[in-house]
Amino acid sequence: MIIIMKPSATKKQVTSVIDRIKDIGLDVQINQDKEQVVLGLLGDTRSVQDIAFRSYEGVDTTIRISNTYKLTSREFHPQDTVVDVDGVKIGDGSFITMAGPCSVEGLDQIRQTAQIAKAGGAKILRGGAFKPRTSPYAFQGLEEEGLKYLRQAADELDMKVITEVMDESHIDLVAQYSDILQIGARNMQNFKLLAAVGKTGKPIGLKRGISGTINEWLNAAEYVAVAGKSPVIFIERGIRTFEDATRNTFDLSAVPLIKKMSHFPIIVDPSHGTGVWDLVPPMARAGVAAGADGMIVEIHPAPENAWSDGQQSLNEDTYRKMMQEIEVLNAAMNEIHSLEMLTAGR
Ligand code: PEP
Ligand code: MN
């Protein structure tokens, strides 16, 4: 249940409603909008009667949220959440690119890749140091050494960092080096890990599970949101279907759907979404058109020599060209957005 306070509600009126919520043994999350306060009741609200709160002074209305996720929902937080990654804003209407190799392979490689990423317009450097690999014999990542190289390469170019944390025991270590903590597709429903990263205060890049439904994905975000400190960035990276001509089936309808259901930003990952490098630019363009807040893309100075995911990585030339196209499309999207605002009379 959420309780929407009137714009005119006083602090005292809000406090007395919060006190009542706590009295009946529930927790509360407060969303202070520009215009009004919205209170989200956390816990089992089945026996709570709406009328009990509607009679309070300053209460506008109460809404039952039928979803099992609440803090993640649009109802609780009608305005878009803009995630601030140490000064880089995600979800504010701009299109943010995170680019880098699948794996950090060494200092030279990540530095060279960071140069390419930055020159093309990316503000955030990606790179795996802890790698979830299907085979235990495949390269598992440089771990802390990789984190150090990644941070150094990013700092030299004033870029931010996103990298994956695979295990609860590595959270402090990864958080020391990374601005965004990535939860990989294979961990989308690792609930203990989600709850633990949610306590760090770092933004969480939450990949969609390999066969994760939209509802499961939203509930996974709720595990992070309940911890109360970290905002979520959804990352659509394709799902497994019967189609095997591409690595995954890139579900672009997730972009407008997540935007409808949730206030958190969503970015696209056309690299894992397709698994084929020459399909990446057209699907990145489609991501912009679908309204994504950004993308994460794999690039490599020499994809043919990459230690992982070379087949879906862009080289410098294809990346540059794609980024120029994205810029053109993004300008067009901004015009479309202004038109929408105009027709909505805002
Ligand atoms: C990655 O980003 O390199 C990765 C392993 O992604 P996913 O978890 O989406 O497979
Ligand atoms: Mn990869």
Say yes or no: CB of residue 208 within 6 Å of ligand 1.
no
Atom in ligand 1 nearest the alpha carbon of residue 131: 5
The pTM of the full predicted model, rounded to 2 decimals, is 0.94
Per-residue pLDDT reduced to its tens digit, 111-125: 999 999 999 999 999
- Tell me which residue has its CA closest to atom 10 in ligand 1: 185
pLDDT band, very low/low/confident/very high, at 14 (cuts 50, 70, 90) = very high
Per-residue pLDDT reduced to its tens digit, 287-304: 999 999 999 999 999 999
CA of 243 to the centre of ligand 1 (A): 19
Among 113, 237, 296, 308, which is best to mutate for testing ligand 1, by the most ligand atoms less than 8 A from CB? 237
Whether the per-residue pLDDT at 254 is higher than 90: the answer is yes
Instruction: Answer whether 2-63 and 83-342 agree in fold.
Output: no
CA-CA distance, 302 to 317, in Å (whole number)? 11
pLDDT above 90 covers a percentage of the chain that reads 90
What 275-278 contacts at long range (C-beta under 8 Å, 24+ apart), as own/partner pairs, is 275/238, 275/246, 275/247, 275/248, 275/311, 275/312, 276/246, 276/247, 276/311, 276/312, 277/303, 277/311, 277/312, 277/313, 277/314, 277/318, 278/318
What average pLDDT does this structure show over 248-259?
98
Lowest mean pLDDT among 57-61, 322-326, 335-339: 335-339
Mean residue pLDDT across the chain: 96
Q: Are 299 and 317 in contact (CB under 8 A)?
A: no
* Superfamily of structural domain 2-63: Phospho-2-dehydro-3-deoxyheptonate aldolase; domain 1 (3.30.70.1140)
Whether the per-residue pLDDT at 34 is higher than 80: the answer is no
Domain boundaries in the chain?
A: 2-63, 83-342
- Tell me which residue has its CA closest to atom 1 in ligand 1: 102
AA letter at 318: T
Residues 6+ away with beta carbon under 8 Å from 330: 94, 95, 288
Whether the per-residue pLDDT at 43 is higher than 90: the answer is no
Say yes or no: CB of residue 77 within 6 Å of ligand 1.
no
**Check: CATH 3.30.930.10 for 83-342?**
no
Locus of tokens 């450097």? 125
Bigger pLDDT: 342 vs 184: 184
Q: What is the pLDDT of residue 346?
A: 64
Whether the per-residue pLDDT at 52 is higher than 90: the answer is no
Say yes or no: CB of residue 132 within 6 Å of ligand 1.
yes
Q: Is 61 helix (H, G, I), strand (E, B) or coil?
A: strand
Q: What is the pLDDT of residue 139?
A: 93
Nearest to 231 by CA among 200, 254, 208, 258: 200
Residues 6+ away with beta carbon under 8 Å from 342: none
Q: What is the pLDDT of residue 223?
A: 97
Q: What is the pLDDT of residue 45?
A: 86
Whether the per-residue pLDDT at 279 is higher than 70: the answer is yes
Dihedral angle computed from the Cα positions of residues 154, 148, 221 and 308, in that order, rounded to the nearest 10 degrees: 90
Say yes or no: CB of residue 238 within 6 Å of ligand 1.
no
Say yes or no: CB of residue 272 within 6 Å of ligand 1.
yes
Per-residue pLDDT reduced to its tens digit, 170-229: 999 999 999 999 999 999 999 999 999 999 999 999 999 999 999 999 999 999 999 989
CA-CA distance, 251 to 163, in Å (whole number)? 23
Whether the per-residue pLDDT at 98 is higher than 90: the answer is yes
Q: What is the pLDDT of residue 200?
A: 98
